[in-house]
Amino acid sequence: MISCGSGVAVGFDLSRAAVIAASRALAELTEPPAFACIFVRAANPDDVAAALLAAQRTIGAPHAIGCSSSHGVIGGGHGIEDVSAVSVFVASGDALSVRSFHLEVMPTSESIAVVGVPPIGPGDQVAIVLADAYSFPVEGFVEQSAQSLGGLPMAGGLAVGGQGSGSTRLLIDGRVVERGAVGLVLGGAASIESVVSQGCRPVGNPMTVTRCEGNVVLELAGRPALQRLEDLLLTLTPEDQAIAGTGLQIGVVHDEYADQHEQGDFLIRSLVRIDAERRALVVADDVQVGQTVSFQLRDAEAASADLHRTLAALDSSSAPGHPAGALLFSCNGRGERFFATSDHDALTVRDQLGGAEVAGYFAAGEIGPVAGRNHVHGFAASVVVFSAESRNV
């Protein structure tokens, strides 16, 4: 059996809030915790460090990770933005195997190398990674994770301190570090599922990339990419045209062999800018000739529907039993300014999972698997779900 607990507290005295949040999380457990995840929102990095350590001292878990969040934390069915707060997640059970790790960047004669990558075994199921957005090359690390982590699913987020570069604080077990990334490798007989909701809906017809250079899409289906976009905009309703002004994205199909491509079948990437001189579109990722892409709109209704759909799909998965808890890494753009409430993702995950314990934070970029590969996402919700019953091994 796996049991999970979560706790959240707000207040100017962050160390006291950390003790309260940790105590609330521990109260949900019947056994000592196997690991803890701690998230702190505060402007002062020293306050963050003190709160991280205070929470871990209260919990006493053998393995713990945590981080700063300049935007806010998630817990107790709430998203708490722009105020000082601490959120704690704990889990216990003999079925859990846990190893913690700290990733650091070291210079080499040619470039840089990431050290501290943990060895991966056959019983491992997911790696939770919290990375400093300023000092750790998370895009490259995640891209190479098929080799470095043997294809192990990875979930987590980018952490940003309240005073920008150099102010992020990370917790690894009983100490606070200021650079790199911290993580947990979770596995054993526990049942753990990782899912990502990207929150977009496709508009127009999918098209094949017929000419491109790196992340610059020059032609779609044999015509200038910008012309294809202009043609699409003329077909949209006034409401969708307004959304396209701020929420237009590009979706890259992750299964070229599928007969049809629908919502959820795309890896969403931002449309960075328009290159009017070349009649091209600049995308936040490299594309290749022959890939199928679709224009996507990001709005609150689509994002909500996609999160519900993604979580509902867990009901038909092979995960046994009911969910005991979940870690939620939600984009810092998915709060009150987008959904008109800070609580949307927290409530949706909790309610869709039958009242499971949920904790996490608003990240500056979300890590999670899509179609069997790990990616860094924007405007997504990455969720790690722990089932109460163990799987058959």
| Total-model pTM | 0.92
In this prediction, residue 258 carries a pLDDT of: 57
Query: Where do we find the tokens 């991280």?
Result: 52
176-197 tens-digit pLDDT:
999 999 999 999 998 999 999 9
Instruction: Tell which residue, 127, 159, 138, 121, has the closest CA to residue 45.
Output: 159
Residue range 383-389: mean pLDDT, rounded: 92
Instruction: Tell which residue, 381, 34, 29, 355, has the closest CA to residue 190.
Output: 34
Distance between terminal CA atoms of the chain? 14
The span from the CA of 28 to the CA of 39, in Å, is: 18
The span from the CA of 206 to the CA of 180, in Å, is: 39
The span from the CA of 230 to the CA of 280, in Å, is: 11
| DSSP at 127 | E
Residue range 157-165: mean pLDDT, rounded: 95
- What amino acid occupies position 20? I
What are the sequence ranges of the domains in the chain?
A: 3-197+303-387, 201-297
CB-side exposure of 72: number of CA atoms within 13 Å?
19
The span from the CA of 188 to the CA of 365, in Å, is: 28
Residue range 238-245: mean pLDDT, rounded: 91
The span from the CA of 241 to the CA of 248, in Å, is: 9
In this prediction, residue 317 carries a pLDDT of: 55
The pLDDT of residue 371 is above 90: no
40-51 tens-digit pLDDT:
999 999 999 999
Query: Where do we find the tokens 């929420």?
Result: 247
Binning pLDDT at 50, 70 and 90, where does residue 247 land?
Answer: confident
In this prediction, residue 102 carries a pLDDT of: 98
* Residue 372 CB partners (closer than 8 Å, separation 6+): 151
In this prediction, residue 266 carries a pLDDT of: 86
In this prediction, residue 232 carries a pLDDT of: 95
250-292 tens-digit pLDDT:
999 876 655 555 566 789 998 999 999 999 999 988 999 999 9
90-142 tens-digit pLDDT:
999 999 999 999 999 988 777 788 999 999 999 999 999 999 999 999 999 99
Residue 136: exposure state from Cβ atoms within 10 A (0-12, 13-18, ≥19): buried
The pLDDT of residue 36 is above 70: yes
